[in-house]
Amino acid sequence: MSVAGTTVEVDRPEGDQDVKLGRPWLVIVWNDPINLMSYVTYVFQKLFGYNRNKAEKLMLDVHYKGKAIVSSGPRERAEHDTFRLHAHGLWATMQPGW
């Protein structure tokens, strides 16, 4: 790049360093041997406002597949959702979406 006769070099991200703005974060609930399936369904309804059918489907994914993505969005929201799930005794993590 040239500004008023001066050359300025700019580093550009390559490959995995590419910054993807607006990429959603995923909140994942993992299966555990402690919480009852009915309780997990209740928590999904309470925290996310899911109807019973959606909450049960997510709970069954957790139970049979070992995990389910229960919410996605900006990092701050994912952090908040993860914290709330922890406060209700569920094992949850968050990760950047692809």
Encoded tokens for 95: 């990760």
Q: pLDDT grade, residue 21 (50/70/90)?
A: low
Global confidence as pTM: 0.77
- Residue 39: DSSP 8-state: H
Residue 16, pLDDT > 60, answer no
Higher pLDDT, 8 or 47: 47
Residue 19, pLDDT > 50, answer no
